[in-house]
């Protein structure tokens, strides 16, 4: 209920920010503050990972550590340990601050669409990375910031190192740093979509073949966990399900309006989404890995959808389309996934 109430509040704030440009920055700041409070003071009892994080916090302060989490989480937990039970909320605050403040900086680069982008951000990215996968969220924010915002090399390298420190799987996104110098044509995008379906039939035996050669034991053990038969069956990707069909429709729309994405930043975000969709299909036989990687790149839709919708001249019509889409996505995530219906 709180998640839906927060959405209604953000809807009003977003509407005010969209209709009044002078209120745009304030709308983004207020929205970020609301999400920050939600992420720090949430009741995560029915969310995946929350109880794991809580247990790991107390274990870390008793001199132990969960091997399934990075050493960085134990280190951060011990730092806030002297604050007792409140210390766990401070840990959540630490990860949330990195995630939300970094994305605030990116949102402010899109002043015209920023307020409406908040709705898209909240209905998917925030639910996944702000409330549940908090380590991945903080790391992902640093990765997006590094690639999208031109900064000095020292700062960029520091952010890459920090992202791996917060979530070691960030290593797999390092090749994305070269995407700024890459050009993908519309025809190539469609061709790779066909190839992705072919790869999906071959990827499982290929991964099983190379998994023993992964040099980092933590990533190797994670990969083996994701490939457990019961986990793969419980999270099987449905190509006729609402999530896939929604992504497929967006893929078609983005390809159709390929030339609408003109700036370097817009092109990078477009490539993120396209690569995310390829990953979603190609790794579909290992659904948990497919979901995690693809969701990280699907975050680009927060900025891409408003760019496409901006072709509509009427401001109210643009806002209604984004409100309907984000509302639908919120309902799917809350009612039809395990994000808010998790049981152990």
- Output the pTM of the full model: 0.89
Q: How far is CA 268 from the centre of its chain?
A: 16
On whether the CB atoms of residues 339 and 48 are closer than 8 A, the answer is: yes
Q: Are 305 and 312 in contact (CB under 8 A)?
A: no
pLDDT for 7 equals: 96
Report the alpha-carbon distance of residue 331 to residue 328 in Å, rounded.
5
Helix, strand, coil percent values for the chain (each to nearest 5): 75, 0, 25
| Distance separating the N- and C-terminal Cα atoms of the chain | 21
How far is the C-alpha of 116 from the C-alpha of 120, rounded, in Å? 7
Q: In 20-49, which residue ranges form alpha helices assigned H by DSSP?
A: 24-41
Report how far residue 147's alpha carbon sits from residue 180's, in angstroms, rounded to the nearest whole number: 8
Q: Report the Cα 252 to chain-centroid distance in Å.
A: 21
Per-residue pLDDT of the chain (344 residues; tens, 9 = 90+): 789 999 999 999 999 888 777 788 899 999 999 999 999 998 877 777 888 999 999 999 998 888 778 899 999 999 999 999 999 999 999 999 999 999 999 888 877 677 889 999 999 999 999 999 999 999 999 999 998 886 667 788 889 999 999 998 898 898 888 888 888 899 999 999 999 998 888 887 777 777 766 666 666 666 666 665 556 666 677 788 888 888 999 999 999 999 889 888 899 999 999 999 999 999 888 888 888 899 999 999 999 999 999 888 888 888 999 999 999 999 988 887 766 654 43
φ, ψ (nearest 5 deg) of residue 57? -60, -50
> How far is Cα 266 from Cα 118, in angstroms, rounded to an integer?
17
From the CB of residue 245, how many other CB atoms can be counted at a distance below 10 Å? 12
């Amino acid at each position: 209920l709180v998640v839906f109430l927060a959405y209604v509040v953000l809807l009003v704030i977003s509407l005010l920010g969209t209709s009044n440009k002078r209120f745009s920055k304030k709308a983004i700041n207020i929205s970020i503050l609301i999400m920050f409070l939600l992420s720090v003071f949430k009741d995560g009892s029915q969310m995946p990972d929350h109880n794991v994080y809580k247990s790991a916090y107390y274990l870390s302060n008793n001199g132990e550590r969960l091997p399934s989490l990075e050493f960085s989480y134990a280190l951060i937990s011990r730092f806030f340990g002297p604050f007792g039970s409140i210390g766990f909320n401070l840990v959540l605050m630490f990860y949330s601050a990195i995630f939300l403040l970094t994305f605030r900086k990116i949102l402010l680069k899109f002043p015209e669409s920023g307020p409406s982008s908040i709705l898209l951000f909240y209905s998917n990215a925030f639910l996944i990375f702000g409330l549940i996968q908090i380590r991945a969220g903080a790391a992902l924010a640093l990765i997006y910031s590094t690639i999208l915002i031109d900064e000095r090399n020292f700062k960029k390298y520091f952010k890459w190192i920090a992202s791996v420190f917060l979530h070691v799987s960030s290593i797999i996104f390092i090749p994305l740093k070269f995407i700024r110098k890459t050009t993908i044509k519309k025809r190539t995008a469609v061709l790779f979509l066909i190839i992705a379906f072919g790869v999906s039939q071959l990827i499982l035996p290929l991964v099983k073949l190379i998994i023993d050669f992964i040099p980092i034991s933590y990533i190797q053990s994670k990969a083996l966990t994701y490939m457990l038969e019961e986990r793969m069956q419980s999270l099987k990707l449905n190509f006729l399900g609402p999530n896939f069909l929604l992504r497929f429709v967006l893929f078609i729309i983005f390809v159709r309006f390929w030339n609408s994405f003109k700036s370097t930043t817009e092109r990078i975000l477009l490539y993120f989404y396209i690569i995310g969709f390829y990953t979603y299909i190609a790794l579909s036989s290992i659904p948990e890995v497919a979901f995690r990687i693809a969701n990280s790149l699907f975050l680009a839709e927060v900025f891409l959808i408003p760019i496409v919708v901006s072709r509509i001249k009427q401001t109210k019509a643009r806002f209604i389309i984004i409100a309907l889409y984000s509302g639908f996505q919120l309902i799917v995530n809350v009612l039809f996934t395990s994000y808010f219906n998790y049981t152990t």
